Amino acid sequence: MAIYISIDESYAVYKLKGMDGVLKECAGRYTRDGRVITKKVAQEELKDGSFNAYQYDEDELIEAKERGSCIGVDWAVKIQKI
**Extents of the domains making up the chain:** 4-81
Render pLDDT for 20-31 as a digit per residue (tens, 0 to 9).
999 999 999 999
Query: How do beta strands 50-53 and 77-81 pair?
Result: antiparallel
| 4 three-class SS | strand
Report the half-sphere exposure of 10 (CA within 13 A, side-chain side): 2
Q: Which residue spans within 1-82 are E strands per DSSP? A: 4-8, 13-16, 50-53, 77-81
CA-wise closest residue to 53 among 36, 78, 28: 78
pLDDT at 1: 74
Q: Is the pLDDT of residue 44 over 80?
A: yes
